[in-house]
Copies of this chain bind each other. A is one copy, B any other.
Amino acid sequence: MSVATKATIASFGGKLLKLSHNASTTGCEMSFNLYLPPQAVNQTTSKVPVLIYLSGLTCTAENCSEKGFFQHGASKKGIAVLYPDTSPRGLNIQGEDDAYDFGSGAGFYVDATQAPWDKGYKMYSYITEELPNTVFAAFPQLDSNRVSITGHSMGGHGALTLFLKNPGKYKSVSAFAPICNPINAPWGQKAFRGYFGDENTQKWNEHDATELIKQWKGGPLDILIDVGTGDNFLKQGQLLPENFAEAAKQAGLESSVNIRYQPDYDHSYYTMASFSDDHVEHAAKYLFA
């Protein structure tokens, strides 16, 4: 459970910490970043809430820390931002580094059930349990009872599914260009086939946001999604927010899902930078309710 500090960087009045720990769920050293806003650095009387940002394919904790601009809004609101990695690293599983969309950098926030990936590719358990337990033990100024979640692309899929599978665990959820219906998209099908095997089993549905929202019984929902109309992966059918919106509508949750199609925005961090303040604001509404 001990956390090693690799770097401490001043950012927007707070500190961005580059950290790592030996994770038992993944069986390897996992790097992650944690932004402590000024309110947490200066050890004020009250604990600060946490926003978890899940990154997309090929990313590490660094990409959004450098280019997403979340620290700008989080600093003002007094919210810590936790940036996990996207997969185990260096497990020496044959083929783990062969593709950008499977294996290293592509954990998809699931617990693999199929060999050899079931050895370490347990990103669902890592993100929902081991990492937060580790972080809250190491940073008592963070409030384990006030956690929200967001993410981009594969990380948007992670944010939506972790939220929908765990009613009450997260105070709010939002996403940027999320993979909304992986069982019907090439990236998702490749990942689920590799990590779960078979075809369209119940296991696949359990990690598909569009399937999950059909079953939602968790009470009032307020999901913010931004996706750019210039996003090539939207055009290629990898994201399918329209399926998520339709499922929400069928479930009587149409008013609970706010999908903003942002004109011309692409799949890059320029989009997160442009709208991260809105997503921090969305989280703050519930973290400080």
Contacts and interface: CB of A to CB of B under 8 A. Distances in A.
Interface of A: 8-13, 15-16, 66-67, 69, 71-72, 228, 230, 262-266, 268-271, 273-274
A69 B66 contact: no
Interface secondary structure of A, over-half rule: mixed
A9 B268 contact: yes
A188 to B, nearest CB: 26
A67 B11 CA distance: 12
How many copies of the polypeptide does the oligomer hold? 2
A266 B71 CA distance: 16
A12 B271 CA distance: 8
B270 A230 contact: no
A266 B72 contact: no
Nearest to A275: B12
Contacts of A8: 264
A64 to B, nearest CB: 11
A228 B8 CA distance: 14
7 contacts: A11-B270, A16-B270, A66-B66, A69-B72, A71-B273, A71-B274, A72-B273
A273 B72 CA distance: 8
